[in-house]
Amino acid sequence: MLEKEIVPKSSEIIESNQSFDIDSNNNARIYTDPSQAIADFDAETSVEVAAEPSVNPKIALYLMNAQVLMKHKEFKLALNILRQASNLDSKNPKTLKMLADCLTANNQNAEALIALKALAGVDYSFSSIFSYATGLYKIGKDQDALDKYFEALAVLTEENDQLFEAYKNMGNILVRQGDFDGAEEYYNKAYTMNSQSDILLVNFGTLEVQRQDYDKSLYCFRKAVEVNSENDKAWVGLAMVHNQMGDSELAWANIEMALDINPKNRTAVHLVANWGLRDGQIQKSIEALQTYLGEVEHDEDMSLVLINLFCTTGQFDSARLEIERVLLWNPLNTEVRELKNKLAVN
């Protein structure tokens, strides 16, 4: 609910060269001396730190500063401070949680996993075990992650907002393991918690594709697009199903929509490359690959696809240029080097 905006009378406006604060009786205090305002603020901060007797005041200060740095995406600086806090108390749950969050934000998932494992060891709760399971899930340790998710559910004592993510991830793991019935069970559990998740609807659609039930998968992908028209994975799903059903025109329209939303969608780019060869639209494939490779840091496999398309269309100069780009990244790529030697003859 929006609060009413209160406009003070002109007589109530504080002069611009004065500071003010609210005292314990909710009365406005006017400061004529800025140093007094700073002293009072420091005193209040000290009281807040003292309110947590189990936390070393120095650690509390480290965590507060790290939190500010993380808010401004200064993750490397925050990590330095958090490591100092960890040196003082390596088993502090709050420090371990922030350390894991900071490492994850800095794309140091393997290091984050160490902190998450330690957190689960000192704070044996659903939330901590869930976080550890999710860390395992992110680095592709599916079975270990699944085991930890089951362990987290075993210690659950009340409803938790993280349950949806746990059920969804468990379903994803079971799909990859080929247990489609098990995956459906956990997707359904997640669905009862949030029926408007476009991500979950895409997962449902992918499950039905695996089962080769294209009518159901089409329904799921369409529902995902209804919920979020900017979900590029849902549009890719629609493209794949329509292509499977023989409607190449609609498949192309769907895949182009996906690339408009996210030119870095690797699956979409790979499909365009294949379909371009099949349907005589190679130039469209080349453009999609060039855009993709211009935005991602490096992808040797997709560069090879582009080189082959250049060679197919007789664009040998462009092929040589892409070959040199690949070799700059990986001089030991023998396949590309052999291709370079062959093109040098032409």
Residue-wise pLDDT for 104-131, tens only, equals: 999 899 999 999 999 999 999 999 999 9
Regions of the chain where pLDDT drops below 50: 1-31, 37-38, 41-42, 44-53
Nearest CA to 326 out of 296, 301, 346 is that of: 301
**259 contacts 268 by C-beta, under 8 angstroms:** yes
Give the list of residues 6+ apart from residue 119 with CB closer than 8 angstroms, or none: 93, 96, 97, 100, 128, 131, 132
Q: Structural domain boundaries of the chain?
A: 54-123, 197-262, 271-346
Residue pair 284/272 in contact by the 8 Å Cβ criterion: yes
Reported residue count of the chain is: 346
Selection from 297, 283, 282, 224 nearest residue 254 by Cα: 224
Predicted TM-score (pTM) of the model is: 0.76
Phi, psi (5° rounding) for residue 280?
70, 30
> What CATH architecture does domain 197-262 belong to?
Alpha Horseshoe (1.25)
User: Do the domains 54-123 and 197-262 sit in the same CATH topology, yes or no?
Assistant: yes
Q: Distance between CA 251 and CA 314 in Å, rounded?
A: 28
Per-residue model confidence as pLDDT tens digits over 284-317: 999 999 999 999 978 999 999 999 999 999 999 9
Q: Which of 228, 235, 238 is nearest to 208 (CA)?
A: 238
- According to CATH, the topology of domain 271-346 is 1.25.40
Task: Tell me how crowded residue 286 is: count the other CB atoms within 10 A of its CB.
Answer: 21
**How far apart (Å, rounded) are the C-alpha atoms in residues 89 and 95?**
8
* Residue partners of 91: CB distance under 8 A and separation at least 6: 118, 122
Q: Which pLDDT belongs to residue 24? A: 39
HSE-CB at 30 with a 13 A cutoff on CA atoms is 8
CATH 1.25.40.10 fits 54-123, yes or no: yes
- Beta-carbon contacts of residue 227 (< 8 Å; ≥ 6 apart): 196, 197, 198, 201
Residue 206 in contact with residue 175, Cβ under 8 Å? Answer: yes
Radius of gyration of the chain (CA): 28
| Percent of the chain residues topping a pLDDT of 90 | 75
